[in-house]
Chains A and B, each alone.
Chain A
Amino acid sequence: MRRTLLADRVATAVMWGIAGLTVLLLTAFILRIVWSAAGVLSLDFLVSDPKFLALGGIGPLIWNSFYMLLLTLLITGPLGIAAGIYMAEYAEENRWTNAIRFAQETISSVPSIVVGLFGLIAFVNLTHWGFTALGGALALSVFNLPLLARLTEQAFRAVPADERSGSLALGATKWQTIRNVVLPLAIPGIVTGLILTSGRIFGEAAALLFTAGLATPTHYHFENLNIFDPRSPWSPFRPATTLSVYIWKTNSEGLGPDVAAIGNGSAAVLLLTVLLFNVGARGLGGLLQRGMKIR
């Protein structure tokens, strides 16, 4: 009896220790990044253009990161969620669908540099587009689409069978059941999936090096709303270096005297944005769910 009690205490202490260490490491990491960036971060840094051989801003790069995120989500969101719903609710259980699941999991864990090289062939050379935001978004979709589909499927499968049969037993059709009962219950899982994929999209560099390009943007003319004009920042048919790619670039081949400062500042911005984004997405998920629950 004594021994088991002691073992229980030790186990609890070990778990606490490990959890504490993780939190400590993470906090130290975040503080270090923010600390290094303390002298650089300013509103001016966030919105102004990069400069050659002087401390410039990262405005266009932040823009590109969000643009890329939105563009990729526009492609992967509807397709991935629909595919996930199909796999969870409609597809039969057989060797074929199991093979699809296996493929989804494999593709979503392929090293992103490989996806980048694939994107170079498929979305840059074969299409003759050159480096474009759309090519980058498509490359990002290669591993985010199966990931989102898989996560959506899991979110749907996690909904208790009783809720589903409860709706069907009331004479609701399958689609009514999915739309009104299963989907609202699966929303938190889908939002988690979107956050996970968004985090990967936002932070991804390797897949974008050879697809969206490395060119440092000079100045964006946001008043140019023509999305088919490659000079417009709204156009998907233009090179679009993102913040993460820029960090990699300044740190590996930057020449200016303030390369380190720019790198540190960008890293902090990236980190904080992802953090904010996650918090915001969770709030949005809660709102969405409440909106669907009580009509």
Chain B
Amino acid sequence: MTTMKAEQPVVAVPMTIAVTAREESVVSARSEPRLRSEGLGVAYGPKVAVRDVSIDVADRSVAAIIGPSGSGKSTVLRCFNRMNDLIPTARVSGSVMLDGEELNDPQLNVVELRRRVGLVFQKPNPFPMTIYENVAYGPRRLGIKDHKRLDEIVEQSLRQAAIWDEVKDAWKTQPGTALSGGQQQRMCIARVLATKPEVILMDEPCSALDPISTLQIEELMRGLAKEFTIVIVTHNMQQAARVSDETIFMSVDEQRAGYVVEIGRTAGIFTNPGNKLTEDYITGRFG
């Protein structure tokens, strides 16, 4: 007995340590956010557009930003790939991080960042080229010239964006602008996928689309979330409820600056909002 008692801990202790260590690493990998903003603020000239936005987005999940018009949802979204740089009066403060790397660093290579963090626009914006050239646009800018490789990337991206079957007969000849609105948007998603991004931002991607196309895009988003981290801005609360894992609710304060009211698991926010404002918004009392 005594020998066994003495022996047991010797065996058990390292096992316990090993198990805990593995569990911890699993837990930390899941909880370490892919994208994070801390005290993020954006001002256009003297006007503060959003203030003090601190959000985390987990790896391979869908985060939805909802809120009334003017609450700065798109402004926040565009901080994740520095699209606010294009507005000369925009000033961004605070911190935005991708995998722990500061994105507001003025030394950061923005061109490379935008390949890692793709953006799908509100209105489909096909380039005046064939479907093929639209999707090959990103890879070509990277200097990929080999036709076989481009063909592979384009086909794979179109398949991933669930539009391959509809365009495979004319993908090299038909202009992207000749597609329907929903098809154009899926082509634009394929275009983003072709740059092999880690994060995909979507700025109200379905607001210009019919209900069937909207459902197709939502389905596509759920599929993509298995591989990519997605942040979507939407006006449509049902959409947020259907596609997202986390919901970030933003509103406008008295100075007309946007701020985050509440963040939580989507199921929680929609069934049991913690804030009166959130409840009013999702029940349609304002916004």
Per-residue contact bits, chain A 256-295, to B (CB 8 Å; 1 contact, 0 not): 0000000000000000000000000000000001000111
Contacting pair A166 B138 (CB below 8 A): no
Residues of B within 8 A of A295 (CB): 129, 133
Q: A99-122: contact bitstring with B at CB < 8 Å (1 yes, 0 no)?
A: 000000000000000000000000
Q: Which of chain B's residues have a CB closer than 8 A to the CB of A293?
A: 128-130, 133, 175
Closest chain B residue to A160 by CB distance?
B125
- Tell me the complex Cα distance, A225–B71, Å: 70
How far apart sit A254 and B114, CA to CA, in the bound complex (Å)? 69
Binds B, one of A26-34, A134-142, A176-184, A204-212: A176-184
B123 contacts across to A, CB distance below 8 A? 162
Chain A nearest Cβ from B246, distance in angstroms:
23
Q: Which residues of A contact B130 (CB under 8 A)?
A: 293-294
A39 at the interface (CB under 8 A from B): no
Asked whether A294 lies within 8 Å of B121 as measured between CB atoms, the reply is no
Look across to chain B and name the residue whose beta carbon is closest to the beta carbon of A169.
Answer: B119
Choose the segment among B59-67, B187-195, B255-263 that binds chain A (4+ C-beta atoms closer than 8 Å): B187-195
Please tell me the size bucket of the interface on B.
20 to 34
User: In the complex, what residues of A have CB within 8 A of residue B115's CB?
Assistant: 170-171
Q: Does A173 contact B (CB under 8 A)?
A: yes
Contact assessment for A294 and B127 in the assembled complex, using a CB-CB cutoff below 8 Å:
no
Q: Say whether B81 faces chain A, with CB atoms less than 8 Å apart.
A: yes
CB-CB under 8 A from A173, the residues of chain B are: 111, 141
Number of A-B contacts (CB under 8 A): 75
Pick the contact of A170: B86, B88, B137, B173 (CB < 8 A).
B137
A185 contacts chain B at the CB level, 8 A cutoff: yes
B111 touches A171 (CB 8 A): yes
Could you mark each residue 115-150 of chain B with 1 if its beta carbon is under 8 Å from any beta carbon of chain A, else 0? 100110101010111100100011001100000000
Is A172 an interface residue when CB atoms closer than 8 A count as contact?
A: yes
Report chain B residues within 8 Å CB of A185: 128
In the assembled complex, A154 has its CB within 8 A of some CB on chain B: no
Q: Is A98 an interface residue (CB 8 A)?
A: no
Contacts of A176 in B (CB 8 A): 141
Scan B62-81; emit 1 where CB is below 8 A from any A CB, else 0. 00000000000000000001
* The one of A160, A162, A170, A184 that contacts B192, using a Cβ cutoff of 8 Å: A170
Query: How far does the Cβ of A161 sit from chain B's closest Cβ, in whole Å?
Result: 9
Contact A163 B141 (CB under 8 A): no
- Bound complex: CA A184 to CA B141 (Å): 16
B108 at the interface (CB under 8 A from A): no
Determine if B125 and A170 form an interchain contact, defined as CB atoms under 8 angstroms apart. no
Q: What 10 pairs across the A-B complex have the smallest Cβ distances?
A: A171-B115, A162-B125, A169-B119, A166-B125, A171-B114, A170-B138, A172-B141, A293-B128, A171-B111, A176-B141
Additional 4 contacts, C-beta under 8 A, given A165-B121, A171-B113, A172-B141: A163-B128, A170-B192, A173-B111, A293-B129
Listed A/B pairs (13) with beta-carbon separation below 8 Å: A165-B125, A166-B127, A167-B137, A168-B114, A169-B114, A169-B118, A169-B121, A170-B195, A171-B111, A171-B112, A171-B142, A180-B137, A295-B133
